[in-house]
Chains A and B, each alone.
Chain A
Amino acid sequence: FRLLTRRMSSKSASSSAGPVAAAIAKKLSDAFAPVFLDVINESHMHSVPKNSETHFKVVVVSDKFDGVGALQRHRMVNTTLKDELESGVHALSIRAKTPAQWSKNSTVPQSPACLGGSKHDQKQKQ
């Protein structure tokens, strides 16, 4: 299967997939045996420190989603990534498709722009 773990930002030439992204990719590939998997670190789009791993988008294409509704698909992914969600991943955008759905439409919508909420969380921690 195709496994992509995206770099955080094309501007940061020295960056590579961080440990959280790698853990997410491994857990999703182990759990879903996907035909396509993409783990995108979107933290740079938010008001968080550089090189953060707090905001992710994952695209999981697996026949394990056959006959499963959207809410349950997301719950399956959330359960798989429970540790990451409890320990630092702040936002998780999920595209969970069957291979048949993916072959009809493989576009992934862009995530909305940050509105500064993470800054509020940073201040709360200080």
Chain B
Amino acid sequence: MLSSVFRRNKLLINSNLNKITSCQYVYHRKFSDESHPDFQPKKTAIPTGMEDVLKLIDEQVKTNNIMLYMKGTPSKPQCGFSGQVVRILNAIGVSFSTVNVMEFPLIREGIKEYSEWPTIPQLYIDGEFIGGCDIVSDMFKDGDLVTMLED
């Protein structure tokens, strides 16, 4: 179970968050409840100011090859459009990182400003904004998404 979580649905980890001193929310590194201390949930803080949020997002998209901002999680999406993008990525068979914007309102607003794109989901590949569900779906149908991911 744990290996499948990492293989398919690597959840986002940001070790640089500890540098940010002004914090309001926390999020959890989600693992199964194994007994080994290395796998215990660790709480990390996220910033309150939008400038810090934008820096965080910038780091997220640049350090994760495939980065999806979605509603819900890959195993339990809370939006049909987000779920469709997850199904596409799973169908291709790539590992990808996600942020559940329902848990992080600041990131939900921040990603819209960062991308200059008003809706969720939002997919980034190698730091480049690809688009939302419609564009990702069309690219998948045309074969362009697979080509891009192979490159």
Contact = CB atoms under 8 A, between A and B. Distances in A.
B135 A74 contact: yes
Nearest to A119: B78
Given A85-B118, A120-B102, A74 B134 contact: yes
Interface residues of A, number: 23
B104 to A, nearest CB: 13
A92 B133 contact: no
Nearest to A81: B118
Interface of B: 71-72, 77-84, 102, 116-119, 129-135, 137-139
Contacts, number: 59
Given A71-B135, A74-B135, A93-B134, A117 B72 contact: yes
B80 A112 contact: yes
Q: Is chain B's binding surface mostly helix, strand, loop or mixed?
A: mixed
8 contacts: A78-B117, A109-B137, A112-B84, A113-B80, A114-B80, A115-B82, A117-B78, A117-B102
Contacts of A27: none
Contacts of A91: 81, 119
A96 B130 CA distance: 16
A66 to B, nearest CB: 17
Nearest to B101: A117
Given A112-B81, A115-B80, A115-B83, A92 B118 contact: yes
A115 B72 contact: yes
Contacts of A114: 79-80
Given A117-B72, A117-B102, A120-B102, A75 B116 contact: yes
B133 A71 contact: no
